[in-house]
Structure 1
């Protein structure tokens, strides 16, 4: 029976409930997990600035996989790996969003911007990591999937069926976790990865134990090894109890 050494947690829809909070039970069992020597890693589509308060709340001291693997951090203030996107690609993706009249957002090294906060003058000076679209219009979504590959070679995932998240080709939460495993001398077979969306699939499939949340997208549930309870039912706490501490 595999002894797991590392727990990789998606944040939104997984660690966090629908109010964007860490439940008391999740926090309690993460602390217990760490007391037993298990490394807890946040592996998320968020940028480091939006990870910080939760990392501090849990009193973590472990590496972080941010922006879907676009960055790996040794800790909150020590970047380890970054996979940037050329501004020319970011600019073309933004123009595509405007052409199709869909919502967009993007992460650069200083934070997150969106359609309402985009600064034309500053954009060309930033170092960019991820771009995203959101639309509930099925025709616009189909057009995005058709036209995005004309702009560049990308990794396309989502954190919700109404969005598309874009990183450089090959950059995923799994590639980020592989970097963390090299850093910590842990094998991917010794990792439990938990998530709910398409951007979690790569790490769920590659981990020793891939866990889908009860609220996960159907494809994620189908490809995971096991399904836990939802993010409103302390699903992360139950993963720790059932599969890591086995109590």
Structure 2
């Protein structure tokens, strides 16, 4: 009889984590996730992407369960193609927060993810999508960004590095919004108090699971809250240093099947549900 899984819930980020740079999932990762599912585990995607931007990927993966999208602002049922739960960012607060950031650093370029299963990503003049494979609609003026309910605002600065922009935003936005950084060129404002951890906790409850059942994989500072919530947090080798600082373990990069390495070891009974006790070093493949 097979040993029980150390963790019944496998929470994975997408970009820089499960996905390779070309937006694909390797065969090895697919096999590892299938093996975990076959042993009774659950795979839960926890992504900053809004629900409409993950549907083609889910179709390719055959993923039909719950997914945490929009940095925790959306709980999406991929199989039923419906939103189970969502929260929007007040547009007046978003505009005020954006004004406070610009008062400190000068002009930034903004985009928004609209709420809903068919919501669009709108980008104002000057904003360049950091992920060119994701579709977006360019609007003529910023005011158009606020015409429909939104789940978050994305910010870019023409010269400041992401870490600098995020630090300034956290210092001035206060309770107007939660500030996070989810990837290169991606500093975001989302509803205050909403994080990947709040979305993950909600999804886990619906699945009858808890933080103690959960191993989380990620690569960027927006994954910190879910690492702090989950029993075990595994950072990719390509992860941001802020995430590595709170991780329990380090695996290989997203290009080198880092998730699969850990899951294969877990299936063999080799991942212990214990906090980090020694320096982080990537495992061998």
Query: TM-score of the superposition, structure 2-length normalised?
Result: 0.78
Aligned counterpart for 2:30 among listed residues 27, 31, 37? 27
Aligned pair 1:87/2:96, yes or no?
no
Distance across 2 between alignment mates of 1:17 and 1:125: 34
Distance across 2 between alignment mates of 1:29 and 1:47: 25
State whether residues 104 and 134 of structure 1, in contact with CA within 8 Å, keep that contact through their aligned partners in structure 2: yes
State whether residues 11 and 43 of structure 1, in contact with CA within 8 Å, keep that contact through their aligned partners in structure 2: yes
If you compute each CA radius of gyration, which structure gives the higher value, 1 or 2?
2
State whether residues 219 and 243 of structure 2, in contact with CA within 8 Å, keep that contact through their aligned partners in structure 1: yes
Aligned pair 1:75/2:78, yes or no?
yes
The worse-fitting range, judged by mean Cα deviation, of 175-184 and 129-138 is 129-138
State whether residues 155 and 167 of structure 1, in contact with CA within 8 Å, keep that contact through their aligned partners in structure 2: yes
Paired residue for 1:115?
Answer: 124
Q: Give the C-alpha shift of residue 73 in structure 1.
A: 1.5
Paired residue for 2:152?
Answer: 130
Paired residue for 1:103?
Answer: 109
Aligned counterpart for 2:259 among listed residues 236, 241, 244? 236
Q: How many residues align?
A: 245
Distance across 2 between alignment mates of 1:93 and 1:3: 42
Structure 1 residues 245 and 187 mapped into 2: Cα distance closer, same or farther (>3 Å)?
farther
Paired residue for 2:236?
Answer: 213
Q: Give the C-alpha shift of residue 217 in structure 1.
A: 0.8
After superposition, where does 1:162-201 map in structure 2 within 5 Å? 162-201=185-224
Q: Deviations over 1:91-146 (max 9, x none)?
A: 33455677723232221121212223136575444111111212342597265444
Q: Deviations over 1:150-190 (max 9, x none)?
A: xx432211013654222122211110011111111101110
**Corresponding residue SS for 1:164:** strand
Distance across 2 between alignment mates of 1:159 and 1:186: 26
Q: Deviations over 1:204-240 (max 9, x none)?
A: 1211111111111112112111111001101111121
**Corresponding residue SS for 2:182:** coil
Q: Deviations over 1:5-33 (max 9, x none)?
A: 11111000001112222122112211222
Paired residue for 1:45?
Answer: 48
Aligned pair 1:10/2:33, yes or no?
no
| Structure 2 unmatched runs, 5+ | 126-137, 271-285
Structure 1 residues 244 and 223 mapped into 2: Cα distance closer, same or farther (>3 Å)?
farther
Distance across 2 between alignment mates of 1:113 and 1:184: 33
The worse-fitting range, judged by mean Cα deviation, of 219-228 and 237-246 is 237-246
Query: TM-score of the superposition, structure 1-length normalised?
Result: 0.89
Distance across 2 between alignment mates of 1:212 and 1:144: 25
**Corresponding residue SS for 1:64:** strand
Aligned pair 1:65/2:68, yes or no?
yes
Q: Give the C-alpha shift of residue 88 in structure 1.
A: 1.1
State whether residues 101 and 173 of structure 2, in contact with CA within 8 Å, keep that contact through their aligned partners in structure 1: no
| Structure 1 unmatched runs, 5+ | none
